[in-house]
Amino acid sequence: MNESAKPVIAAIEAGGTKVQVAVGTEWNPSTYLTIETTNDPTETMAQVLAAIDECAAGRVIDGIGIASFGPIDVNPQSDHYGVIGVTPKPGWQGFDYPGFFSSHLKAPVVIETDVNAAALAEYHMGNHNTKGGLAYATIGTGIGAGIVAAGSVRNGSRHPEIGHIPLRRNPNDSAITSVCPFHPDCAEGLASGPAVLARWRSTLSELLDSSAHRDEVLDVMGDYLGQIAMSILLHHQPSTIVLGGGVMERAELFTATRNALKRQLGGYFPNLHSDTAIEQLLAPPRLAPVSGTAGAFFLGLQAAANRRFS
């Protein structure tokens, strides 16, 4: 890499249905390509390589940042770093991101979960209150969370699995069993997009546009999402909890979640007694729909820096 030039970064956000790719020396939220995530990871990533080559326009890639769906090993010291674990996405178990990209682009790779990368981007670029750290929870096909403090992602031996924390079942919710194959009443099993479909046979947007189930949906889903937010708050004490993902695209669900959280806290935190304080704590993503891709760009900068100073 030219010592006086800005590094050229390839940012890849790999989701279960699509992959977003951006290349540049600075993050540009309006310039990225989208590729379908097929059931053949080698085929999908070959298309990603072609997109990177097109966007790079002859420039050498200095660092690659990857934000991927999981489960995935994100421990850089592990022999399986960047390898997809047991996943419901057909064909992807065992796919090795570092092995694939280092052999094709000869550039260093830094990898995180898609939700951790989104948390990283919202922390650095979302203009949130980050004094006590930021948590990003995605509520969609699955449920996950990423924690950023002092500018860096915080993982333990693995990435957080907030989607599998147990929830107290809402008394008005007896329509379904948990859609999670592992746990009877966990967050993902009761509050994910598939749980909404299993319970009401419609999408959340359709339900909220209809008067038939609207109040019930807001009561049940607000309760569950409030419990998820309260668990994050009690565990990590972040200044901001960003709630993203397809389920959180309706403002009225945010209101129901904030009301539920305030009720569930029971006055425990003196600084969260007011509606204004709760509203500031629970925030929508400000970089959607490219939070994860922006986070991947940050990871690519880290990869380039690791090469430069190693």
Break the chain into its structural domains and give their ranges: 9-114+289-309, 128-283
Separation of alpha carbons 92 and 57, rounded Å: 29
In this structure, what token pair is assigned to residue 281? Answer: 């704590």
The predicted model scores a pTM of: 0.90
pLDDT value for 249: 87
Do 217 and 204 meet the contact criterion of CB atoms below 8 Å apart? yes
In angstroms, what CA-CA distances link 249 with 203, 264, 289? Answer: 12, 23, 11
**Phi, psi of 37, deg, nearest 5:** -85, 105
Which stretches of 114-201 are DSSP H helices?
Answer: 114-125, 187-191, 193-200
Amino acid at 103: S
**Model pLDDT, residue 310:** 44
Q: What is the CATH number of domain 9-114+289-309?
A: 3.30.420.40
Radius of gyration of the chain (CA): 20
The Cα diameter of the chain in Å comes to 63
Sign of CA dihedral 185, 240, 127, 258: positive
Q: How many CA atoms lie within 13 A of 127 on its CB side?
A: 2
What distance lies between CA 39 and its chain's CA centroid? 21
- The pLDDT assigned to 4 comes to 52
Q: What share of the chain is helix, strand, coil (3-state, %, to 5)?
A: 40, 20, 40
Flag residues of the chain having pLDDT under 70.
Answer: 1-4, 175, 307-310
- What is the C-alpha separation between 165 and 114, in angstroms, rounded? 19
DSSP state of 8: P
Give the three-state DSSP class for 295.
helix
128-283 matches 9-114+289-309 in CATH topology: yes
| % of the chain at pLDDT higher than 90 | 75
pLDDT at position 293: 96
Q: What is the pLDDT of residue 3?
A: 47
Burial readout 272-309 (b: 16 or more C-beta within 10 A, e: otherwise):
beeeeebeebbbebebbebbbbbbbbbbbbbbbbeeee
| Best CA proximity match to 141, nearest among 176, 173, 168, 114 | 114
> What distance in Å separates the CA atoms of residue 310 and residue 308, rounded to the nearest whole number?
6
Tell me, which fold does domain 128-283 have in CATH? Nucleotidyltransferase; domain 5 (3.30.420)
Specify whether the CB–CB gap between 18 and 290 falls below 8 A: no
CA distances to 72, 101, 158 from 92, in Å:
11, 15, 19
Q: Is there a contact between 185 and 199 (Cβ–Cβ < 8 Å)?
A: no
Are the C-beta atoms of 170 and 189 separated by less than 8 Å? no
